[in-house]
Amino acid sequence: MSATMSDLLLDWYDRHARRLPWRVSTGERPDPYRVWLSEVMLQQTTTAAVAPYFAAFTARWPTVEALAAAPEEAVMAAWAGLGYYSRARNLVKAARAVADLGGFPDTEAGLRALPGVGDYTAAAVAAIAFGRRAVVIDANVERVVARLYAIATPLPGARKAIRVAADTITPGKRAGDFAQAMMDLGATICTARDAKCLLCPLQSACAARALGDPLRFPVKAVKKARPLRTGTAFWIERDEAVWLVTRPAKGLLGGMRALPDDGWLARADGHGEAPLAGAWKAAGVVRHGFTHFDLELGVATYAGEGVPAGEGQWWPLERLDEAGLPTLFAKAAERVLAQRSTDGED
């Protein structure tokens, strides 16, 4: 059954594979650097969001050696907007480790030894770039397998059973194509909100379809409400430039340029002191979701003549898009500039 299932899926993939910037045609040898880079970028991020970043990265740093030689701050700035910034820091560390090794390891174990490379990424690179048989499970594959076998245990408890089931249908040959075929099936046919069973090459083997309720799977545990935190970001402007600081290297948004704030991350109440005494004007509130909490960040603009204490830099407003602000602070900057534009029209 497993051989038949893999054959059916690979035949479907040969005809319907998505064209993605990091993929090569069937029979061509993938570049491990491009495979690894794409897999790191795609963690918890959509293909549509990743595509322009991947194109920009590979144009600027076309090889792992070029990325290894890049200043970390340049990579962090280029990453801005993709989120989960620890991925960017580990990207540089891993590129330097690969450069020192003289190339990418070609096994899951060797790949897992690289900074920031976990089980999924190691399996994906081993299978896609090196043709190793590896069980590759992302969210799309998890959903497809849960439906194929009608695995009723709620997530995350079902993941062990899903891995065992995925292992039984992963072929020894064309493992990389099989992994990408499973991803494509979950992204285009067996989606979270729809199950286009009549178009699915595995419909005859699908237990969830036989039960008549494929959307029931995978079963998800009830989500707990995420806590809401609050804080304030501060906009200090002089001579068409805004004051930016660099966040501490470790922690949330570590090493990124940002607007100064009131220390909301370290404070339970999210209300700390402003960086300057004097008159502040409220410029609205921006909202942003992190993995474990939501944030409402008030934005305040400075109307005085003081000079900020501590380390920072005046960044020209006309080049603010080059600062590499993370999405949270980019939203805050957009809020200020949009309000200024509206006030000017009045």
Q: Which residues are catalytic?
A: 39
Burial of 23 (0-12, 13-18, 19+ CB in 10 A): middle
Contact yes or no for 295/288 (Cβ under 8 A): yes
Q: How many whole angstroms separate alpha carbon 121 and alpha carbon 44? A: 12
Tokens 């600081």 belong to 245
**Token pair of 15, please?**
């005809």
- In the three-class reduction of DSSP (H, G, I as helix; E, B as strand; rest coil), residue 165 is classed as helix
d(CA 93, CA 281) in angstroms, rounded, equals 41
**Contact by Cβ (8 Å): 190, 143:** yes
- 3-state helix, strand, coil split of the chain in percent (to 5) is 45, 15, 40
Among 254, 243, 256, residue whose Cα is nearest residue 74: 256
DSSP H or E segment with residue 72: helix 72-79
Q: Categorise residue 205: left if φ over 0, alpha if ψ from -120 to 50, beta otherwise.
A: alpha
3-state secondary structure of 311: coil
| Beta carbons of 124 and 182 less than 8 angstroms apart | no
Question: How many CB atoms neighbour CB 290 within 10 A?
Answer: 15
Distance CA 199, CA 185 (A): 10
